[in-house]
């Protein structure tokens, strides 16, 4: 069927010929627009939500940045358990032929350089082997649009005579520095650097989608908070990192003094380190001292929780820290005293009592701090890994059910 001149003119004005219209029809939208998690209410915050939302926000930003560069197709190629290419950006002319291609890996972090991962199916991300493996998977896919895209890319690469890795690009969205940096496929050679704020303003002004312009406006409104916030700020500091006395006193202060109180917490924790060591350095007697001191600390933490100074998560991690410290002090003190008694008699001739005291000091101190670290690390790792529903059930049925939270 022959198209009328009016229809053909309309296609040209819309930026696509008959073939280009088919290409736009197969364009994959790369997911809904996601706001940065700093906008989340406190009740819905978790480490998992932070990672998922930051990654999606960074990919939204990368999509719109690529569109500003003239890439009119943005494909998200995923296969298996989150394997694949974050973005395949294609720039087509009016005839539908490819003019440029970029295989893009998006990394949204606060670190100085992006880190590329290792995969089982293709080795290091963005390597020649990895890119070729993904292109091969696309060609063998049951999705006709992926097959067509892979064939179009292969024809383009052969026509221009460039190696596949030269089309790779790592986009590093650094919310700490406020910069978008583009690297070559190896993640080392920098190609460009741009301001996130400047690009968001360009997206707000030039994006073809109203949804994209509104998303950019929201990001600009909260950009200072985005640049200043890490995951620890988003979640709040863990109780294991805070002084128990400062937590209790902080609960009586108003919101205007919160920042100064946090600084005082860190300073006080350092000042209390030496007295804490002495408390747990009296051989076998240190076992009972550690239990008494930690019992007081548990009371302080519970008081801080009930007064609103710390969260339920912080309270539970500190309880695990204290339990680990008491267990470690008991085991380390007893073992150190026994070994010290033998060494004092057999090797130094000072007798069993001095050896036992010295061994108990070393073992008790080492055991307490080692046990505290293990308890804090284990509780934090457990909290990070378990499903939120399971975590809630555990907190209600075990902690509160055993009288700790009542």
Tens place of pLDDT per residue across the chain (406 aa):
444 444 444 443 443 433 333 233 233 455 689 999 998 888 889 999 999 999 999 999 999 999 999 999 999 998 876 789 999 999 999 999 999 999 999 999 999 999 999 998 899 999 999 999 999 999 998 889 999 999 999 999 999 999 999 999 999 999 999 999 999 998 889 999 999 999 999 999 999 999 999 999 999 999 999 999 999 989 885 433 434 444 444 454 544 555 555 555 455 544 444 444 444 444 456 556 666 666 767 777 676 667 666 666 676 777 777 777 677 767 766 776 677 666 765 666 556 566 667 766 787 677 777 777 776 777 677 666 665 656 556 555 655 554 544 4
Same domain, 197 and 247: no
Same domain, 313 and 392: yes
Same domain, 246 and 201: no
Cβ distance 74 to 67 under 8 Å?
yes
Q: Which of 289, 196, 286, 304 is nearest to 245 (CA)?
A: 304
- Contact partners, residue 154, CB within 8 Å, separation at least 6: 135, 139
Residue 381 has a pLDDT of 73
Q: Using the 8-state DSSP alphabet, how is residue 387 labeled?
A: -
Q: How far is it, in rounded angstroms, from Cα 246 to Cα 257?
A: 13
Q: Using the 8-state DSSP alphabet, how is residue 45 labeled?
A: -
- Contact partners, residue 261, CB within 8 Å, separation at least 6: 246, 249, 250, 253
Same domain, 198 and 241: no
Q: What are phi and psi of 281, to 5 degrees?
A: -125, 40
Range of the domain at 123: 14-232
Q: Which of 47, 18, 31, 130 is nearest to 84 (CA)?
A: 130
Q: Is 41 exposed, middle or buried (0-12, 13-18, 19+ CB in 10 A)?
A: exposed
Judge whether 4 lies within some domain: no
Q: Among 211, 232, 253, where does a domain finish?
A: 232
Q: Using the 8-state DSSP alphabet, how is residue 237 labeled?
A: -
Distances (CA, A) of 346 to 332, 342, 343, 352, 364: 21, 6, 5, 9, 22
Residue 54 has a pLDDT of 95
Q: Which of 171, 170, 172, 173 is nearest to 227 (CA)?
A: 173
Q: What are phi and psi of 25, to 5 degrees?
A: -65, -25
Q: How far is it, in rounded angstroms, from Cα 263 to Cα 240?
A: 15
Residue 61 has a pLDDT of 97
Q: How far is it, in rounded angstroms, from Cα 256 to Cα 339?
A: 53
Residue 21 has a pLDDT of 30
Cβ distance 264 to 246 under 8 Å?
yes
Burial 235-267 (b: 16+ CB within 10 A, else e): bebbbbebbbebbbbbbeeeeeeeeeeeeebee
Same domain, 225 and 260: no
Residue 16 has a pLDDT of 40
Looking at the 3D structure of the chain, how many domains does it have? 2
Same domain, 297 and 203: no
Q: Among 176, 199, 232, where does a domain finish?
A: 232
Q: How far is it, in rounded angstroms, from Cα 106 to Cα 182?
A: 10
């Amino acid at each position: 069927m022959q198209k009328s001149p009016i229809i053909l003119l309309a296609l040209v004005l819309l930026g696509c010929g008959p073939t280009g219209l088919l290409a736009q029809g197969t364009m994959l939208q790369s997911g809904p627009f996601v706001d940065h998690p700093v906008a989340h209410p406190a009740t819905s915050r978790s480490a998992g939500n932070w990672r998922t939302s930051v990654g999606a926000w960074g990919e939204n930003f990368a999509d719109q940045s690529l569109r500003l560069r003239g890439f009119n197709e943005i494909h998200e190629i995923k296969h298996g358990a989150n394997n694949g290419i974050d973005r395949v950006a294609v720039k087509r002319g009016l005839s539908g032929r490819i003019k440029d291609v970029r295989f893009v890996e998006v990394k949204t972090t606060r670190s100085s350089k992006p880190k590329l991962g290792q995969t089982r199916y293709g080795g290091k991300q963005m390597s020649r082997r990895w890119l070729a493996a993904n292109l091969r998977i696309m060609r063998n896919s049951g999705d006709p649009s992926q097959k067509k895209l892979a064939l179009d890319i292969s024809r383009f690469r052969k026509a221009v005579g460039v190696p596949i890795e030269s089309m790779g690009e790592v986009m590093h969205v650094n919310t700490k520095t406020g910069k978008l940096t583009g690297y070559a496929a190896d993640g080392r050679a920098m190609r460009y650097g741009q301001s996130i704020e400047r690009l968001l303003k360009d997206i707000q002004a030039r994006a073809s989608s109203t949804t994209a312009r509104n998303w950019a406006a929201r990001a600009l409104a909260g950009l200072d908070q985005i640049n200043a916030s890490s995951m620890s700020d988003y979640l709040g500091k863990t109780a294991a990192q805070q002084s128990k006395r400062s937590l209790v006193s902080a609960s009586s202060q108003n919101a205007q003094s919160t920042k100064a109180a946090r600084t005082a917490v860190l300073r006080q924790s350092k000042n209390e380190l030496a007295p804490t060591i002495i408390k747990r350095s009296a051989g076998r007697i240190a076992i009972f001292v550690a239990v008494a001191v930690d019992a007081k600390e548990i009371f302080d933490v519970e008081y801080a929780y009930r007064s609103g100074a710390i969260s339920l998560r912080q309270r539970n991690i500190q309880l695990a820290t204290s339990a680990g410290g008491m267990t470690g002090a008991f085991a380390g003190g007893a073992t150190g005293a026994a070994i010290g008694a033998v060494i004092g008699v057999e090797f130094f001739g000072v007798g069993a009592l001095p050896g036992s005291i010295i061994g108990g000091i070393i073992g008790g101190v080492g055991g307490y701090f080692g046990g505290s670290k293990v308890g804090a690390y284990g509780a934090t790792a457990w909290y990070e890994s378990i499903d939120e529903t399971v975590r809630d059930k555990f907190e209600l049925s075990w902690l509160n059910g055993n009288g700790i939270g009542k």
